[in-house]
Amino acid sequence: MRAPFFTQVAERVRARETLLVVGLDPHPEDLPRPTPTAARDWARRLMDATHPWAAAFKPNVAFYGALGPRGFEALGEVIAHAHDLEVPVILDAKWGDIASSSRAYAQTAFATLGADAATVSPYLGPSAWEPFLTYKDRGIFVLVRTSNPDADFIQEYGGEPLYARLARRLAQLDPNQVGMVVGATAPDALALVRALAPQHWILAPGLGAQGGDPAQSVWVALREDGLGALFPMSRAISRAKDPAQAAREWRDVLNRYWEEGLKRTTSPLRPVWQRWAPALQALAEGIFVHGMVQFGEFILKSGRPSPIYIDLRRLTGYPHLMRLAAWAYTRLLRPLKFDRLAGIPYAGLPLATAAALEGGWPLIYPRKEPKAYGTRALVEGPYRPGEQAVLLDDLATTGEAKLEALATLRRVGLQVRDVVVLIDRQAGASETLAHHGLSLHAVFRLTDLLEFWVDRGLLSASMARRVRQELHLL
């Protein structure tokens, strides 16, 4: 009995040191004659030339089906030849229907044609993909955010994009059977899906003819263990003068960014930011690019002067960054023991709401002043005295605002031992809070963000040096 598909792929990725999937799409203009035999022979020659650098082959069923009944026979022979070369096959079918029809599609893909995995359309809901999962040794890649230019018409729809909601649902399924298709042409979507589904394999089409940039997509798509992503290439290889050389060159391009990514997570000599997960890098870049960081002469709430002002209230205007922020908060929150999140008004309240929705935690918030009417509440939301709360805010500077919220929560009988923020400005908050029995947990430190922004070419080294000097962060 053969190994499960994703086990096969992981073993081949390691053994061949490749993330490349070679597409086997016999466009009519690429064939000497538009016949099933010509398509089969074309695919065989391409496989023979490229298999040393292929993690998998990906034939598109549409091109074979267009050749008539014998086209499917030719496709079966193509898949059999791939297996002779010991390369797993992803059938690019994009099938998905009501359960009875999907059972027939699954049988066609796996029992009739012999594919190891198939792409599946999720539009009809779970009944579209569940029949495929009855084949325990096979895999599926569900279409989540595809690489075509007009994909956003449906896939970006909604307050939370449809593709993100779908990724959340699929992330609950077995990563040994279920992967996701996310286009390399949409690196922001890649980062978000990777954050939502940290263990699942991603098939990321869109490099080559579609113009996706491997520098922006390879490391973003990979899991923290350096695996979990495959990159299909079709016309850029099949139409090359020397397909073998083209496959080798594309394998090497992918490997260059793969190796850089691995160094980011393993080398203690690398900057801290290079060990951040891809989603954190996308969040840190988005904070700067979307104008949440300003340089000049500012007076902070603490009364201190500062050459830098960070306005995370603007995050609410960028839903994709809010989702990344919520994910980042939950990474810090999950190891902590608490009963309720306590968002600090005002900047921390929408962020706490996003984190509560992401993690499924109940939310309360301490008022800045007692309610002057009605219940005259000090703390809004349901709670019981004696419960443990975690304070959540946007930034930490001196820690004074956190102590004000702490006093309010303790006044109504709530316990607090942890404070979570997105950015620690490293201006004494950690020490101040520790003096009051609180531990500060931050997604980012300001010094690491400055280094990241400089390395990404967003900030000049001289400005970063000025900020560090004036804030005594050297």
Average pLDDT over every residue of 393-400: 92
Greater confidence (205 vs 303) lies with 205
pLDDT at 201: 97
N-term to C-term CA, the chain = 60
Predicted structure pTM score: 0.68
Per-residue pLDDT tens for 260-299?
766 555 444 456 666 677 788 889 999 999 999 999 999 8
Per-residue pLDDT tens for 15-35?
999 999 999 999 999 999 999
Q: Which residue out of 58, 94, 241, 402 is catalytically annotated?
A: 94
Average pLDDT over every residue of 322-351: 92
Contact between 467 and 291 (Cβ < 8 Å): no
Indicate the length of the chain as a whole number.
Answer: 474
Average pLDDT over every residue of 125-141: 96
Distance between CA atoms of 278 and 285, rounded to whole angstroms? 11
pLDDT at 300: 82
pLDDT at 195: 81
pLDDT at 270: 53
pLDDT at 218: 87
Average pLDDT over every residue of 46-51: 97
- 94 assigned to active site: yes
User: Is residue 90's pLDDT more than 60?
Assistant: yes
- Where is 468: in which H helix or E strand? helix 461-470
Least confident stretch, 116-130, 266-280, 326-340, 436-450: 266-280
Average pLDDT over every residue of 391-396: 96
Res. 258 pLDDT band, cuts 50 70 90: confident
- Where is 319: in which H helix or E strand? helix 319-333
Q: Give 434-463 as a DSSP string.
A: HHTT-EEEEEEEHHHHHHHHHHTTSS-HHH
pLDDT over 70 percentage in the chain: 95
Res. 162 pLDDT band, cuts 50 70 90: confident
461-470 vs 446-455: helix crossing angle, rounded to 10: 170
pLDDT at 255: 92
User: Is residue 359's pLDDT more than 70?
Assistant: yes
Cβ neighbours of residue 188 closer than 8 Å, sequence gap 6 or more: 282, 320
User: Is residue 187's pLDDT more than 50?
Assistant: yes
User: Is residue 374's pLDDT more than 70?
Assistant: no
pLDDT at 168: 87
User: Is residue 372's pLDDT more than 70?
Assistant: no
Average pLDDT over every residue of 69-82: 96
* Domains recognised in the chain with CATH numbers: 5-266 (3.20.20.70), 278-470 (3.40.50.2020)
pLDDT at 191: 83
- Of 344, 341, 335, whose CA–CA distance to 355 is shortest? 341
Average pLDDT over every residue of 98-105: 95
157 CB neighbour count, 10 Å cutoff: 12
pLDDT at 269: 44
User: Is residue 153's pLDDT more than 90?
Assistant: no
- Where is 230: in which H helix or E strand? strand 229-233
Q: 370 in helix, strand or coil? A: coil
Task: For the chain, give the mean pLDDT.
Answer: 90
Res. 303 pLDDT band, cuts 50 70 90: confident
Per-residue HEC secondary structure of 126-169 comes to HHHCHHHHHCCCCEEEEEEECCCCCCHHHHCCCCCCHHHHHHHH
